[in-house]
Amino acid sequence: MNLSALITALGGRRALQQLLDVGPSAVSNYMTRGHLPNRVKPIIYAALTAKGYQVRPHDLEILAGPTKLLMSDMITNSGPRIVLIISGGIAAYRALETARQLQKRGARITGVMTESAKQFITPLSLAALTGEKCYDNLFSLTDEAEMGHIQIARSADLVLVVPTTANFMARANAGIADDLATTILLATSAKVAMAPAMNPAMWAHPATKNNFTSLAQRGVHMIGPDIGNTACGEEGEGRMCEPSYIADVAMKLVEALPTNQPSRNVTSNQGQVGALVGKRVIITSGPTIEPIDKVRFIANHSSGKQGHAIAAALAGRGANVTLVSGPVTETPPGHVNLVPVTTAAEMLSACTTAIAGKRTDIAICAAAVSDWRVTSAASKKIKKSNDPSTKMLLELSQNPDILANLSTSENRPKLVIGFAAETENLFENAKAKRHRKGCDWMIANQVGGDDDPVFGSTTNKALMITERNVETWPKMQKTELAEKLADRIEAEFAK
Ligand code: PMT
């Protein structure tokens, strides 16, 4: 057995220590003896094959180097560190796929398992996948000497719990720290995200709803659950979100959010705490940008301030918000699932995907979608002619109407709200637009004024037009308008 070659292939002595859960002196002993104890051979074999090596099982002879790029080779030393806690539900096996998806996106994973998670998958399977030790014991002396729970908690850019069982949510909400996983949750100052997964009846129980709401209000980012076939075989709400979706949201959380702030405005103006908890919302915001050639584009002055403020207001009231945003410099609010897009076509596709196959309660289109795109955008920079009299003509095609698509979709959200940006005849134009696009409410704002262009500014004033009613909202901060709209939405769902 070429021990040095094995250790190099595993990533060094420290990697071996972590994998085998031993201290440095144990590794020195192996080196002196020139071989490994039989009991650790399967672990080494699994780790090496996971890295793509061809290994002879009985003596661990490396027959060939990595033949293809496997997930464990994609681990970078600079990607975000995600502490992946696996709690014990039948969806635990999907946590392995989540780890794989996170690695694919450049994350480094520290695995942590609860005792009950080990009833479904083994720490070895996660360790082999991540190439790092999986921790499961609060009182292991080796762990405490090498990487105690405080260090694990501090090392994290994000603590992600996949799946999060009803029991785990209850313990986390109560602040119980009776195992490694819950102790890390108390000790960490990193962002925390949870992907609940449970039987639909357990999900519907008021105790679970209370725990969910309370954790969300304390700043835990909740990913799902979804509606569909749950791992326990029943149909309904409680299914864990797709691993690739969880990985996307997790990476956006580590990339986009500055801190793990508690949700704002958890008490709404209506006085109900978390009145929109469990409501699924999709919001479009910002401009779309349509390319002319490799370096030029058609765009508008939308800053995303209004759409983002609405996303923050609804997330603050407990709603599960997906924010589909064109390119803006506005910081995305905490606790929303941000889907960045560029063109109208991308925005439509993101919206269609977001509402596909699941119940969406509310859609709000605050984006300033470009009505046209260049029919054939050039793949290179278009050169100007030396003759200054030469005219440049662009052929434009009409973009799809996202609001109209959402309004007529078979997955139509219960409440669809549009924004009308008008420079004249505000009421008449907006009323006609509401009818034409098939939405329930239209928020009409007069744009382009000298005192307040609305596009890009922090204030807005609007008419709220419904089928039977018109309200006039005076000039106010966009954040206030967002809260006002959230009040109306709350009242609508309270009916
Ligand atoms: O982003 P800010 O700087 O904060 O500015 C806010 C705002 C002015 C952009 C916002 O308040 C606003 O009015 N948004 C809608 C702008 C707009 O494009 O309005 P419209 O009248 O052209 O479109 C009517 C509705 O159809 C809108 O909900 C729009 O999102 C939607 N639409 C339009 C075209 C299209 N192809 N697809 C759409 O979904």
Give the domain range for residue 450: 263-375+393-495
What the block records as the tokens of 177 is: 């720290």
Are both 44 and 181 inside the same structural domain? no
Note whether residue 200 is domain-resident.
yes
Report how far apart the first and last C-alpha atoms of the chain are (Å, whole number).
73
Are both 172 and 307 inside the same structural domain? no
Are both 289 and 246 inside the same structural domain? no
State the pLDDT at residue 271: 31
Are both 243 and 269 inside the same structural domain? no
Are both 412 and 469 inside the same structural domain? yes
Provide the Cα torsion 353, 359, 362, 368; round to 10°. Answer: 10
Contact 290, 298 (CB under 8 A): yes
Are both 340 and 470 inside the same structural domain? yes
Domain boundary residue, one of 49, 64, 79: 64
Are both 243 and 272 inside the same structural domain? no
> Which of 284, 285, 298, 302 has most ligand 1 atoms within 8 Å of CB, for mutation?
302
C-alpha of residue 422 to centroid of ligand 1, in Å = 10
Catalytic residue check, 232: yes
Q: Which residue has the tokens 């409501």?
A: 279
Q: How far apart are CA 20 and CA 57, in angstroms?
A: 17
Q: Alpha helix locations (H) across 118-259?
A: 123-130, 141-147, 149-155, 166-174, 180-187, 200-204, 206-217, 243-256
Note whether residue 382 is domain-resident.
no
Are both 118 and 199 inside the same structural domain? yes
Note whether residue 383 is domain-resident.
no
Note whether residue 386 is domain-resident.
no
DSSP 154: H
Note whether residue 380 is domain-resident.
no
Q: How many domains does one find in the chain?
A: 3
What the block records as the tokens of 217 is: 């209000």
| 260 close to ligand 1 (CB < 6 Angstrom) | no
Domain boundary residue, one of 254, 274, 307: 254
Q: Of 252, 222, 258, 255, nearest to 240 (Cα)?
A: 222
State the pLDDT at residue 319: 87
Q: How far apart are CA 431 and CA 472, in angstroms?
A: 14
| 433 close to ligand 1 (CB < 6 Angstrom) | yes
Residuewise pLDDT in 10s, the chain (495 residues): 778 888 888 888 888 887 887 888 888 888 888 888 877 877 787 777 667 677 776 778 887 776 544 444 444 556 899 999 999 998 898 899 899 899 988 899 999 999 999 998 888 888 888 888 899 887 765 555 555 777 888 889 999 999 999 999 999 999 999 999 999 999 998 989 999 999 999 998 999 988 988 887 777 888 888 877 776 777 778 888 888 888 888 887 887 544 333 333 333 333 333 568 778 999 999 999 999 999 999 999 999 999 999 999 998 888 889 999 999 998 888 778 889 999 999 999 999 999 987 789 999 999 999 999 999 999 999 999 999 999 999 999 999 999 999 999 999 999 999 999 999 999 999 999 999 999 999 999 999 998 899 999 999 999 999 999 999 999 999 999 999 999 999 999 988
Give me the CATH number covering residue 365: 3.40.50.10300
Are both 112 and 202 inside the same structural domain? yes
- Ligand 1 atom closest to the Cα of residue 400 is 36
The catalytically annotated residue of 134, 232, 241, 351 is: 232
Are both 197 and 319 inside the same structural domain? no
Q: How far apart are CA 99 and CA 206, in angstroms?
A: 31
Domain boundary residue, one of 214, 237, 254: 254
Note whether residue 39 is domain-resident.
yes
Are both 306 and 295 inside the same structural domain? yes
Q: Of 304, 319, 282, nearest to 417 (Cα)?
A: 282
Q: How far apart are CA 53 and CA 62, in angstroms?
A: 7
Note whether residue 366 is domain-resident.
yes
Contact 351, 406 (CB under 8 A): yes
State the pLDDT at residue 73: 45
CA angle centred on 440, ends 436 and 442, rounded to 5°: 75
Give me the CATH number covering residue 152: 3.40.50.1950
Are both 467 and 369 inside the same structural domain? yes
Q: How far apart are CA 351 and CA 308, in angstroms?
A: 16
State the pLDDT at residue 33: 84
Give me the CATH number covering residue 24: 1.10.260.40
Contact 129, 99 (CB under 8 A): yes
**DSSP string of 363-401?**
EEE--B--SEEETT--SSPPPPPSSTT------EEEPP-
Note whether residue 152 is domain-resident.
yes
**CA dist 318 to 259, 360, 371, Å?**
18, 15, 33
C-alpha of residue 366 to centroid of ligand 1, in Å = 5
State the pLDDT at residue 440: 98
